Amino acid sequence: TIKEQVINRIFLYPIKLIDRLNLMVHNNNLTIVTLSKISGDMIRKTYNIKPRIIHPGISLKGYAKYSGYNNRYNQVITVGAINKYKNQLFVLESISQIPIENRPKVIIVGNGGDAQYVADLRKYARIKLIKIDIRIGISKSTLIKLYKSSYALMYSPVNEPYGLVVLEGMRAGLPIIASKGYEEIINSSNGYILRQDAKLWASAYMKLYKNRELWEKYSQQNYTDSTNFSDLKYSQKITSIIDRLI
């Protein structure tokens, strides 16, 4: 909210001022690493320094071999803490725009959640005739099974520049429908980056649902690309930077 943004700027200003003074003193020997282009642009704007962008990775263990079209159900999965900032309600709003005869089930997975927000999700789904399955605190193996039985990942957090959920969905061979902020890994070859317009998101899902060739293209591309975002490659890049500094 605007109120939250104003409060954050007021309280963070002294910290930013100290950071800028530190940068002026140590700029020549400083290496800053950040996780995405968006956060990199914020650092450049705030501190007038160019950071090194290294995308975090995920463990590829446990995903086993590629799971294709015939192993999927008409269901959408969305993953993350269940609250207004992860914005699962918008996913339900998008699904409500799909004709009921094609409407997918929605799997909502979180490691915790706001009780009132969860209740609001259930109420909305009941009113809009959406089948939902809310899972909290499940194991990684169960999560992977849910990924690999779903048809698409919908991910709509508020102001999140980069998240591992999208990488997990890619490794599970899921086409991705996500909010802006993931352009570095999602494009027209493997999914959709859309503004938060429920009708647009519903239309994107229906394109995948009705076009098996398109679904397989995105699915296979994501499964292949996910190897570029492994935790091993991430640690190697970080280690390389540390080695040059010591």
Report CA-CA distances (Å) from 17 to 12, 23, 197. Answer: 9, 10, 38
pLDDT of 69 strictly over 80 = yes
In tens, the pLDDT along 6-41 reads: 555 555 555 565 566 565 555 556 778 898 888 899
pLDDT at 81: 94
- Model confidence, pTM: 0.85
Query: Cβ contacts of residue 24 below 8 Å, gap of 6+?
Result: none
In tens, the pLDDT along 100-116 reads: 999 999 999 999 889 99
pLDDT at 168: 97
